[in-house]
Amino acid sequence: LTEKFSNVVEKLKRAKKLDEKTVDEALKDIRRALIEADVNIEVVQKFLNDIKQKLVGQEVIKGLNAGETVIKLIYDELLNILGKEEPLKKAEKTPTIIMLVGLQGTGKTTTAGKLANYLKSKGFAVGVASTDVRRPAAAKQLCTLAESINLPCFVDEEEKDAIKLTEKVIEKAKNAGLSYLILDTAGRLHIDQELMDELVEIKNKVHPTEILYVADAMQGQDAINTAKEYHEKVGLTGVILTKVDGDAKGGIALSVRQVLGVPIKFVGVGEKINDFEPFHPDRIAQRILGLGDIQSLIEKMQAAIDEDKAEKMAKRMMNAEFTLEDLKEQLQMIKNLGPLENILKMIPGIGSKIKDLKVDNKQFVKIEAIINSMTPEERQNPHIINGSRKKRIARGSGTTIMDVNKVLKQYKEMKKLMKKMKKSGKMKLPFNMPN
């Protein structure tokens, strides 16, 4: 761990359990990291209080030390709070209207284009419309964007009344046979009552299926306070976080969930039309905690799990009662585990001998098919497999008698080798062998 938590990890290297003292120590660093990532201080407070209860008494995760375990559990909890990806809701009658709201400059118009482009790429008929009557340039900006991606843009430059304009553009859009209409709305530099009234009126007129608040992640806490007011006055169904590129730290995502309780649906990650993706909680959580840190933790855990499995596998391979059934099971495990070398490495004395061993996955599939075509009895007692049985097995597995012979021979050799190794007693196994 090199990024934010080297401190806590170093300090708690030798702690055996997550007792209260260990947890308190770890949470000090976590608190600082969360605040640095722009998470609201009250949200941090509540989050840490809640999680402390869960952490105390937990086992240290295999492959990690106590400090790393705390960070991993914090990460899991962040994922939990951030929620799952939630798709856009659909209206019963087309078009589904998605209204974008938010202050000026947060990225509404850009996002309208991005969202329209995203839905178009999913095969939907999409259009955009603007209800901004105060700034004619706003509608132009939207239509230029729409044109660049060949989507219809509904405007009426003559109409100066926002509500009437909304009625007109919706009417036009409805006749166009669209699945989705993205409605870009006017913004202001600050919250103002007139704008809120206007948005509520538009809402009541068009009954949008989604009202998405476009939140500028660079604005940190301010974005949340504004969003809260929008939520109280207009009612939001979700949030799109923009500018989650560059320096934005993503902490605001946590506040969105904790303070507003609505899902984050999409994330804008740049100025270009394709810089847009459905919300991935893991990406945001990693942004909050530090990407490198979390990835290395997950890799360590994975390595520990693999080692565990490989150890068990090696143990079974050393078992003299090795049957074709075992072989098949092991082939399946090998497929999941990756290279056979990793498993054989666990058997001391073998590692060096198999340096150049290359395992062909296609070969595995064949062996598995052949064993599958055997009866349970044949798998336990391969010596009963005579000519006519071989013929049946070959036919059943879509292979040849030669293939069947090859598998049987390989199996015999493996078993012989294992017996020899066990007897020679030269090897010291890293675990206790059952006798």
Which positions touch ligand GDP (CB under 6 A)?
102, 104-110, 187, 242-243, 245-246, 268-271, 275
State the binding partner of 243 from Mg ion, ligand GDP, none, CB within 5 to 8 A by kind: ligand GDP
Q: Is 237 known as a binding-site position?
A: no
Query: Based on CB atoms, which residue is closest to Mg ion, 130 or 373?
Result: 130
Query: Based on CB atoms, which residue is closest to ligand GDP, 249 or 300?
Result: 249
Q: Is 104 known as a binding-site position?
A: yes
Q: Is 308 known as a binding-site position?
A: no
Shortest separation between residue 177's beta carbon and Mg ion, angstroms: 26
Shortest separation between residue 123's beta carbon and ligand GDP, angstroms: 24
Closest CB to ligand GDP: residue number = 268
State the binding partner of 127 from Mg ion, ligand GDP, none, CB within 5 to 8 A by kind: none
Shortest separation between residue 125's beta carbon and Mg ion, angstroms: 23
Shortest separation between residue 289's beta carbon and ligand GDP, angstroms: 21
Q: Is 105 known as a binding-site position?
A: yes
Query: Based on CB atoms, which residue is closest to Mg ion, 138 or 340?
Result: 138
Q: Is 102 known as a binding-site position?
A: yes
Footprint on this chain of Mg ion (rule: CB under 5 A): 108-109, 138
Query: Based on CB atoms, which residue is closest to Mg ion, 108 or 243?
Result: 108
- Measured CA to CA, the distance from residue 125 to residue 146 in angstroms comes to 13
Shortest separation between residue 176's beta carbon and Mg ion, angstroms: 22
Shortest separation between residue 103's beta carbon and Mg ion, angstroms: 10
Q: Is 188 known as a binding-site position?
A: yes
Q: Is 185 known as a binding-site position?
A: yes
- Binding site, by residue number, is 102-109, 184-188, 242-245
- Binding site for GTP, by residue number, is 102-109, 184-188, 242-245
